[in-house]
Amino acid sequence: MNGKWFNFYKKQGKVAKQAHIGFPKDSYEREMGKEGFFGPVTHFYHKHKHTGWTDFQGDNRPRAFDTNLFGSSQATPWDAHVLLKNNQVKIRMWTLDSSMKKLVRNADGDDLLFFHQGTADLYSDFGHMVVKEGDYLMLPKGTMWRLETTNSCEILMIESSNGHYQLPDKGLLGPNAIVDAAVYRTPEINAAFQQQYSDDDWTVQVKRLQKISTINYPFNPLDAIGWQGDLMPVALNWRDISPVMSHRFHVPPSAHTTFLGNRFVVCTFVPRLFETNPESLKVPFYHNNDDYDEVLFYHSGNFFSRDNIHPGMITLHPTGFTHGPHPKAMKNAFTQNNVMTEEVAVMIDTRDPLEVCDAAEQVEWPEYVNSWQEQK
């Protein structure tokens, strides 16, 4: 049976003239909504910041992890550190210092690789393609592939377990908005691919239900001479994303959705102009995301809403508490010194709770929960 949301509007007391614009004097806005930023919503206006806690006990707390502290490299993605997971998504951090000696295939779901650092040549069933820093690389479930490195690579891996990656509906913005299909890159059966045909022995590692099976061949199975269809690996660099902006209104994170998984979304925050209306909020608003766990991977730039966060770190804000900008950022809530933001970050919002794995706990910054406290 299909339901529908309650759809009547009420208001009480002193409120803003509209969301994120023109707050009542000396108040702080807090957003509470359903289904992330996609459902019905209410905005509260408070006398105090609801991130102004003096103590926070329990497991359901904001957490931060520094992947720069991992010292070793891994020969295949299946050896990479699993940081966060649930039944729909697995988030890994993979360091690859040298070219892969084996082929791999994921039989559990599509893989999305974000190249935090490094350059590599992808060889797959579909051909050859160069991938570099700032690239997303989407590999459909069942693709056979390997990477030849030009230099050391740091790769954020997001597996859509038992699912697929699709594109968001851009609605009124039209087909060329945010990401124009013209900028997607796909593999080619080119000279580099043809040169790797061989009768040498090759091994394929197949991951299924988180277990590895091996298949040995007396030849290189990446030997396609052609293909046709509409299923293939796709690469996208963050520099080719045109973000949704409003000169008056701080748009929600959902407007920056780049990929849809099964019960999760992947969003990309890229540099954009700050809002110009003097009454408009110019930092992320305080909010309760009571249906989604929020993960942010910080890639590059100045993370204007965060303090003591640097590239290569990951934060987790689980459902159930108010979160938002750190105190230093709120001092610039309505006035910014720069014209544009400078940050590049990947956000993963999951509809189901995430488990923090042992590898993440080894590189955790335990004081992150206290970073919202005002400095005396």
Q: What six digits make up the tokens of 5?
A: 């949301």
E strands in 290-336: 293-300, 313-317, 322-323
293 labelled ligand-binding: yes
Q: Please indicate whether residue 250 is annotated as part of the active site.
A: yes
Tell me how far apart the alpha carbons of residues 296 and 315 are, in angstroms, rounded to a whole number: 5
Q: What six digits make up the tokens of 325?
A: 């900008």
Q: What six digits make up the tokens of 224?
A: 């396609």
326 labelled ligand-binding: no
Cα end-to-end span (Å), the chain: 54
Per annotation, catalytic residue among 116, 250, 256, 317: 250
The residues, ordered by sequence, that sit 6+ positions from 244 with a Cβ below 8 Å of its Cβ are 173, 177, 178, 251, 255, 256
Region of residue 13 (left: phi > 0; alpha: psi -120 to 50; beta: else): left
DSSP, collapsed to helix, strand or coil, labels residue 224 as coil
The residues, ordered by sequence, that sit 6+ positions from 251 with a Cβ below 8 Å of its Cβ are 244, 245
H runs (alpha helix) in the chain:
191-195, 327-330, 358-362
Tell me how far apart the alpha carbons of residues 97 and 118 are, in angstroms, rounded to a whole number: 9
Region of residue 171 (left: phi > 0; alpha: psi -120 to 50; beta: else): left
How far are the Cα atoms of 22, 282, 334 from residue 278, in angstroms, in the given order?
A: 9, 9, 6
Tell me how far apart the alpha carbons of residues 1 and 283 are, in angstroms, rounded to a whole number: 40
How far are the Cα atoms of 38, 77, 147, 149, 248 from residue 137, in angstroms, in the given order?
A: 26, 14, 12, 15, 34
323 labelled ligand-binding: yes
Beta bridge partner(s), residue 323? 287
Enumerate the known binding-site residues: 287, 293, 323
Enumerate the known binding-site residues for homogentisate: 323
Which residues are catalytically annotated?
250
Enumerate the known binding-site residues for Fe cation: 287, 293, 323
